[in-house]
Amino acid sequence: MPLTIKRTWPISVQALLVPSFIMLLALFAFVFNDHLSDLFVYNRNLIANGQWWRLLTGHFFHTNLNHLLLNLAALIMLWALHGHFYTVKNYAGLFLFSALSCSLGLFFFDSELQEYVGLSGVLHGVFVFGAVMDIKQGDKTGYLLFIGVWLKIAHEQIYGASSDVINLIGANVAVDAHLWGAIGGLFFSAIYLLNLHQK
């Protein structure tokens, strides 16, 4: 069943519910950071000791207010750009898939990273999904977005993150999180499109 391109603001419950819930969880985690972070942030050693929930919950925490606002702004921007593709089911699946891909990628392939917080890895997966859906609908800007996000990731892998962003969030940027989140978004997109094709 083909999807149609909409150019109005994606203000339906389907488009808004999960992104809004993610935003509220991130705000809640920030407000109560001192009480919750020790229990829920991504911590490699504690995950290795069986605290697997940190693979998911760590993404809702942030280093400072700038970090939080930067990620929430990206969340809103992606909703405004691609929210017409979102449903409760596909966005929840995309978020979970990208979050776990990001965390598991860091856990198994970045042993030097002991702690990680933030939504940016997951948001790269969300970005990839939106670009793929644009391409699926015949929107040529999807190709630019898709190529652009992978060029950004490649640049980060070679040269590292921008010093301005590092100073803004008060921490090193885990560029590998962006890579693994985007890979998760790409795999989810492939599975999602295959499922659409089979219906």
SS (H, E, C) the chain: CCCCCCCCCCCCHHHHHHHHHHHHHHHHHHHCHHHHHHHHCEEHHHHHCCCCCHHHHHHHCCCCHHHHHHHHHHHHHHHHHHHHHCCHHHHHHHHHHHHHHHHHHHHHHCCCCCEECCCHHHHHHHHHHHHHHHHHCCCCHHHHHHHHHHHHHHHHHHHCCCHHHHHHHCCCCCHHHHHHHHHHHHHHHHHHHHHHHHC
Query: Is the pLDDT assigned to residue 30 strictly greater than 70?
Result: yes
Rounded Cα–Cα distance for residues 185 and 134 (Å): 14
Query: Is the pLDDT assigned to residue 52 strictly greater than 80?
Result: yes
Q: What is the pTM of this model?
A: 0.92
Query: Is the pLDDT assigned to residue 36 strictly greater than 90?
Result: yes
Query: Is the pLDDT assigned to residue 59 strictly greater than 80?
Result: yes
Instruction: Report the CATH number of the 13-198 domain.
Output: 1.20.1540.10
Rounded Cα–Cα distance for residues 75 and 196 (Å): 25
Rounded Cα–Cα distance for residues 40 and 46 (Å): 10
Q: Which amino acid is at 78?
A: L
Where does the pLDDT of residue 70 fall: very low under 50, low under 70, confident under 90, or very high at 90 and above?
very high
Label residue 109 left, alpha or beta by phi (over 0 means left) and psi (-120 to 50 means alpha): alpha
**104-126 residue pLDDT tens:** 999 999 999 999 999 999 999 99
Residue with tokens 């083909």: 2
- Hey, what are 145's tokens? 């977005």
Q: What pLDDT, on the 0 to 100 scale, is given for residue 167?
A: 82
User: In the chain, what are the domain boundaries?
Assistant: 13-198
Q: What pLDDT, on the 0 to 100 scale, is given for residue 45?
A: 97
| Span 137-144, average pLDDT | 95
